[in-house]
Amino acid sequence: MGTTSRFTGVDFYHFDRNFSDEERSVRETVRRFVDDRFLPDIKQHFREGTFPLELAAEMGQLGLLGPAVKGPGCPGLSYTLYGLMCQELERGDSGLRSFASVQGSLVMWPIATYGSQEQQERWLPELAAGTKIGCFGLTEPDHGSDPGGMKTFARRDGDDWILNGTKLWITNANTADVAVVWARCDEGVIGFLVERGMEGFSTNPVHGKFSLRASDTGELVFDDVRLPESSRLPRAKGLKAPLSCLNEARYGIAWGVVGAAMDCYDTALRYAREREQFGKPIASFQLVQQKLVTMLTEITKAQGLVLQLGRLKDDGINEVPLLRARGPGYPGRGRGDGRVQPRAAHGQPGIGDHL
């Protein structure tokens, strides 16, 4: 596009004034990590449908994996910092933020919240360091929005459990060392830590994605996998346990979408200023300006929303729902067109060539 100047943020309402020096500094560090270490290769990864796993340990060193999780070896930072990190990661690519969200909110957080001391000490330090990778298996081929209908079943066999079932559309499936897996048993929904290499446990990639291409997505298959009782997350009881993990992840996703929208706006603005038609930059035409103003308005509203959510969570106020984060006011609002709505109605198959 010709413009090579670095991204300096989008901040029409001066939200920067509300951040501490530490928050601004961490945001800058992550922004430069994305610029220097991730963006140079993202086009190739997107085209090839791969994730740059070699960055995992570097992300761990920067405290990007489970930043707000409290446990052995975890960064133990604030939720606002976690949000800012997700914003910057998703400015690079949704696949990068997804990787961090799954590792932190969907693997480390449930281990810290529902796991035994032994599970926490065994897994959290290496997951935080990015030297071990995790995934979260809830969705099944026939049960996405309604995980309560899951068919994956764990039956007792002496002191062990025997796990059977299939999870589909699982981020990090093919690279994970450990999978947090949710299953039904006679007493309700329970969770397990299933390790790669266990007999009967296999993974397969999902091909043909049109979106989230720079992300490892796959299937988890459990065929009579024998699990000791020590693999079960002892404090996870019922469907509310996996749903609480999703809530934790949604917080980071809300910030991430703001980062993606900031990048879209910045890219569109740069292009509109440089691209000339009828002898002047297209940014000088009011119809183009209207598009940019609408984007900036939605971004500004969303920035206020996620910042307040972060501050509330840092004050221990968790019961505020992620208020209509997918509804009016969300930066994706402008996507409600005839092309995107039918795609969304398909859920996961809507992002691939599977139908």
Ligand X SMILES: Cc1cc2nc3c(=O)[nH]c(=O)nc-3n(C[C@H](O)[C@H](O)[C@H](O)COP(=O)(O)OP(=O)(O)OC[C@H]3O[C@@H](n4cnc5c(N)ncnc54)[C@H](O)[C@@H]3O)c2cc1C
Residues that bind ligand X (CB under 6 A): 102, 135-139, 144-145, 169-171, 212, 217, 344-345, 347-348, 351
Q: How far is Cα 195 from Cα 201, in angstroms, rounded to an integer?
A: 8
The dihedral region occupied by 76, where left means phi > 0, alpha psi between -120 and 50, and beta the remainder, is: left
**3-state SS, one letter per residue, for the chain:** CCCCCCCCCCCCCCHHHHCCHHHHHHHHHHHHHHHHHHHHHHHHHHHHCCCCHHHHHHHHHCCCCCCCCCCCCCCCCCHHHHHHHHHHHHHHCHHHHHHHHHHHHHHHHHHHHHCCHHHHHHHHHHHHHCCCCEEEECCECCECCCHHHCCCEEEEECCEEEEEEEEEEEECCCCCCEEEEEEEECCEEEEEEEECCCCCEEEEECCCECCCCCCCEEEEEEEEEEEEHHHECCCCCCCHHHHHHHHHHHHHHHHHHHHHHHHHHHHHHHHHHHCEECCEEHHHCHHHHHHHHHHHHHHHHHHHHHHHHHHHHHCCCCCCCCCCCCCCCCHHHHHCCCCHHHHHHCCHHHHECCC
Select 119 or 215, whichever has its Cβ closest to ligand X: 215
Select 62 or 180, whichever has its Cβ closest to ligand X: 180
CB 86 to ligand X: min, Å: 15
CB 195 to ligand X: min, Å: 17
Q: How far is Cα 251 from Cα 101, in angstroms, rounded to an integer?
A: 9
Select 52 or 310, whichever has its Cβ closest to ligand X: 52
HSE-CB for 315 with a 13 A CA cutoff:
9
CB 347 to ligand X: min, Å: 2
Select 188 or 347, whichever has its Cβ closest to ligand X: 347
CB 345 to ligand X: min, Å: 5
235 φ, ψ (degrees, to nearest 5): -100, 5
Select 10 or 154, whichever has its Cβ closest to ligand X: 154
CB 138 to ligand X: min, Å: 3
CB 126 to ligand X: min, Å: 19
CB 251 to ligand X: min, Å: 15
CB 178 to ligand X: min, Å: 13
Select 67 or 110, whichever has its Cβ closest to ligand X: 110
CB 225 to ligand X: min, Å: 17
Select 26 or 112, whichever has its Cβ closest to ligand X: 112
Select 213 or 232, whichever has its Cβ closest to ligand X: 213
Select 147 or 331, whichever has its Cβ closest to ligand X: 147
The dihedral region occupied by 133, where left means phi > 0, alpha psi between -120 and 50, and beta the remainder, is: beta
